[in-house]
Amino acid sequence: MTAVDPARRATRTTCPYCGVGCGVLATSDDRSGAAISGDPEHPANFGRLCSKGSALGETLGLEGRLLHPMIRCRNGRMERVAWTDALDHVAQRFRHIIARDGPNAVAFYLSGQLLTEDYYVANKLMKGFIGSANVDTNSRLCMASSVAGHRRAFGADTVPGCYEDLDEADLLVLTGSNAAWCHPVLFRRMIANKQRRGARMVVIDPRRTDTAEDADLFLGLKPGTDTALFSGLLVHLAGTGVLDRNYIERHTSGFEEALARARSIAGSVATTARATGLSEPDVAAFFRMFAETPRVVTLYSQGVNQSAQGTDKVNAILNCHLATGRIGRPGASPFSLTGQPNAMGGREVGGLANQLAAHMDFTPADIDRVRRFWKAPRIATQEGLKAVQMFEAIARGEIKALWVTGTNPAVSLPDADAARAALAKLELFVVSENVRSNDTVNAGAQVLLPAQAWGEKSGTVTNSERRISRQRGFLAPPGETRPDWWIVSEVARRLGFAAAFDFASEADVFREHAALSAFENGGRRDFDIGALQTVSNEAFDAMPPVQWPLRQSEAQPQQRFFADGGFFAGDRKARFVAPEIPALRTETSAGRPLRLNTGRIRDQWHTMTRSGVSPRLGQHLAEPFVEVHPQDANRFGVVDGGFARIATDYGQCVLKVVVSERQQRGMLFAPIHWSGETASAARVGALVAPFTDPLSGQPENKATPASIAPHEFVFRGFVLSRVQPVLPPQVWWTRVAVSGGYGCLFAGNADPADWSCWMQSVADGDLAEYWDFGGGVYRAACLAEDRIETCLFVGPARDAGDWDVPKQLFAADALTAEQGRMLLSGKSADGLANAGPIVCACFGVGRSTICDAIAAGATSAAAIGARLKAGTNCGSCLPELKRLIAQTHVELDQNRLARATN
Ligand code: SF4
């Protein structure tokens, strides 16, 4: 494999979104777009990409990019400065605060989007040279409970299996994972196993997600009861004679205590059913399937990790695999699905406050070893503050300087309004970013440092199966943007550590990282890539994806761990962990009768700073919403398509209501992606309680007590604009990218006459207006040279007009005379169909078009694909197609019945 695919003349790189780590081929001559395809030779995806990866070419524009260093001046404005001035300023302020208040008065908050080389340099500076372990990362919000569970059970943060296990398993158990939306390429791989080999699938989730559409068994358990379910399973395995006694004896300790605790939590199928809210037959079926299937992989993700009992949940799962010896064998393993593209790289580096470096801890021996390797003058000797604690310390004024790199904590942390307010108290607040504006930058950043973005930067990332892949630049870095590792190194040099940060390239950093992993290792630590410590610049440039460990003494990487024991505790044995009796810290009350679950949607990523600029990705679910069970909707008076105010003890949001049987009674679901930049009242992180797991420090994002109430708006409408529109205050709005500009959906109580004033204030061209005074309708469009510059529709909430046809006309360079005449009718002059919300992002196929095809006889996803192409590229929409088929048939049957009865 080479850095460039010769046939396509495309650069080989890696997708910057989820932890699947798909290989990408990218070709681009300029910023207007890039040809993107999956790399057929990459072993994570073999050429496949999901909707997000496929749309990467739409995210490369420079609008909104931070291109130069900026410092906030005395007048409060950000002003461009030279790099040397910005770096001098950061170093001088850090030095002053450290000298005055000590090293624990400063902190770094990093990101699973950083490259391993960036992570390595930041971790080395803070822990080895500043002398504090206040380095944490947004990965704390993603997989910290898996790390803590692995370390308790295995003695190291080791993922035992690999993706090939998903091809070879006979049973795939997905718990707390909506893989169909969040890890789509891996999910298609599991579906391929089902189709090819007949593997069965069990999906365990309080919410019936798209992942459940393909399940042989769906277990809609009560929130927070995974520990009970897997405790019950352990008891069942012990009672049915499928334990691997030999494995338990030779390679583990603590089994009897763990089994005794499991018995006290869920001693039978009946008690498990009661504890989890599942039916006894369903529990029994799951236990039977697990017991009778040696090749079983249990995959878990944020539904398990993001919990105040997340580590215990992880260990309850690991216990079942250890007890049956189903670990590290082909088709048999527990498997943590990592959310972020390089959370694993951050873990390798030690970029979490409770790790030191290279899978070494804060033990005296490890501290001494790392100190000697780094020649560190002032190494941290104890754990630092984890993310939530870190922001609490900022709020208390204990941390006075913070450097945020490549993440948006003002949106993503729990109790996000409090986190945002804390940032304003900092004496020094530095942000390294790609964008000029986001909620974190706008929370009072004093220094902005322009970092290179995906497509420009170069280094490595590690995916969920421990595979290190190259991210390679294929675009010229714009403006004065620099790699993050360079920015941190320059500050380190100015702090007086030039010799230790004398890196000339990302390859230099990688070699040192690899050398540290092997330093005095001798097989005692799992993470060892010593074979790469002398890689040349040329070999690094051409480096193919490689799994770790890759020890110097071994020619081949190790694909799996622990089939024959060899754990990383001192006695080389695994530990069974007796989990605590599960109890939700988040009790509901009369005022907060529901539990709020938060999560992700198929076509957006994190706080949308990248995925939100793709028009294609904005079409699937354009508005922030809350999903409610029909009985709860009735009980609280909210209606499908209306608005609701969601309140918790921490904040409030106003969201669009989606009433759905897929949601469990007593639970609400809201996606996390919208920020103050993309919506007026949808910062869902602000609703989330800051309760954390006592071991992992990971916050409970899945069960905050909440209330819901209807929220009425008299008028609704939309704006399409070539420039980012600023809507009047008091208006509820959400913004998405559309082809040719920006689209805002809005709702409010302002009179249409006020909208006419607003339109006149922004119009820059010929303004055409339509009024229906009696009906409360106002529509207007501003055209310049037959192209729509701005278009506004507003009307009564029940009938505000659809934006599908105006959106298609807005995308055109020029309107025909007939199109111009028809524009304000919202109807098409030339047969442009109202396709409805987009289901297939790859081919832009809408729900209405798909439902019409189903009604006309397309009764399978394949038939829809043949007719409309929907679902034939990335496959991310296939579960939704299946759901639409089932739903449309029910509706058709109901209509037939109604006609027959009449
Ligand atoms: S599954 Fe999708 S988002 Fe994840 S790495 Fe692959 S293409 Fe990117």
Looking at ligand 1, which atom is closest to the CA of residue 24? 7
Our answer on whether the CB atom of 461 is closer than 6 Å to any ligand 1 atom is no
Cα-Cα-Cα-Cα dihedral sign, residues 82, 87, 92, 94: positive
Burial of residue 246 (CB within 10 Å: 0-12, 13-18, 19+) is exposed
Does ligand 1 come within 6 angstroms of the Cβ of 50? yes
Closest residue by Cα to residue 33 from 69, 71, 61: 61
Task: Give the whole-angstrom CA distance, residue 582 versus residue 225.
Answer: 7
20 lines ligand 1 (CB under 6 A): yes
Phi/psi of residue 119, nearest 5 degrees: -60, -45
Tell me the C-alpha distance between 263 and 270, whole Å.
12
Nearest to 78 by CA among 374, 436, 418: 436
**55: CA distance to ligand 1 center in Å?**
11
Instruction: Tell if the pTM clears 0.85, that is, is over it.
Output: yes
The confidence score (pLDDT) of residue 830 equals 65
Q: For ligand 1, what atom is nearest to the CA of residue 18? A: 4
CA gap 255, 247 in Å, rounded: 11
Tell me, what's the pLDDT at 512?
A: 98
131 Cα: distance to centroid of ligand 1 (angstroms)? 37
Residue 52 Cβ inside 6 Å of ligand 1? The answer reads yes
Residue nearest ligand 1's atom 6 by CA: 22
For the chain, first and last CA: distance in Å? Answer: 67
Our CA angle for 164, 860, 870, nearest 5°, is 75
Give the CA angle between residues 626, 310, 107 to the nearest 5°. 90
Q: Is 602 in the pocket of ligand 1 (CB under 6 A)?
A: no
Nearest CA to 127 out of 363, 383, 348, 387 is that of 383
Pairing mode, strands 135-137 and 546-547: unpaired
Buried b (16+ CB within 10 A) or exposed e, 110-145: bbbbbbbbbbbbbbbbbbbbbbbbbbbbbbbbbbbb
pLDDT tens for 613-646 read 888 898 888 999 999 999 999 999 999 999 999 9
CA–CA gap between residue 845 and residue 836 (Å, rounded): 9
Q: At what angle do helices 861-868 and 847-855 cross, to 10 degrees?
A: 110
Instruction: Output the six-digit token pair for 15.
Output: 């997708």
Contact in structure between 169 and 295 (CB atoms under 8 Å): yes
21 lines ligand 1 (CB under 6 A): yes
* Of 13, 14, 22, 25, best ligand 1 pocket probe by most atoms within 8 Å of the beta carbon: 22
Residues 120 and 239: their CA atoms lie apart, in Å, by: 47
Whole-number pLDDT of residue 368: 98
- Asked if residue 36 has its Cβ within 6 Å of ligand 1, the reply is no
Q: State the sign of the Cα–Cα–Cα–Cα dihedral 9, 13, 16, 17.
A: positive
Q: Which of 46, 50, 59 to mutate to test the pocket of ligand 1 (most atoms within 8 A of CB)?
A: 50
Separation of alpha carbons 323 and 847, rounded Å: 47
Between the CA of 201 and the centroid of ligand 1 the distance, in Å, is 21
Which residue CA neighbors atom 4 of ligand 1 most closely? 18
| Tokens 């939700």, residue located | 584
Instruction: From the CA of 14, give the closest atom in ligand 1.
Output: 5
Q: Is the CB of 166 under 6 A from ligand 1?
A: no
571 alpha carbon to ligand 1 midpoint, in Å? Answer: 39
What whole-number distance in Å separates Cα of residue 573 and Cα of residue 253? 7
Q: Is 467 in the pocket of ligand 1 (CB under 6 A)?
A: no
Ligand 1 contacts CB of residue 49 (under 6 A): yes
| Token pair belonging to 605 | 């990523």
Q: Is the CB of 17 under 6 A from ligand 1?
A: yes
- The Å distance, Cα 880 to ligand 1 centre, comes to 18
pLDDT value, residue 584: 58
Report how far ligand 1's centroid is from the alpha carbon of 525 (Å): 30
Residues in the chain where the model's pLDDT stays below 70: 29, 582-585, 829-834, 902
Mutation pick for ligand 1 pocket among 13, 37, 46, 52 (CB with most ligand atoms within 8 Å):
52
Helices vs. strands in the chain: H and E counts, helices first: 29, 35
Q: Which atom of ligand 1 is nearest to the CA of 185?
A: 1
Sign of CA dihedral 118, 123, 129, 130: positive
Which of 13, 14, 17 to mutate to test ligand 1, by most ligand atoms within 8 A of the CB atom? 17
Of residues 701, 101, 117, the one with CA closest to residue 414: 701
**Other Cβ atoms within 10 Å of 830 Cβ, number:** 9
- pLDDT recorded at residue 420: 97
Q: Tens of pLDDT along 320-370?
A: 999 999 999 999 999 999 888 899 999 999 999 999 999 999 999 999 999
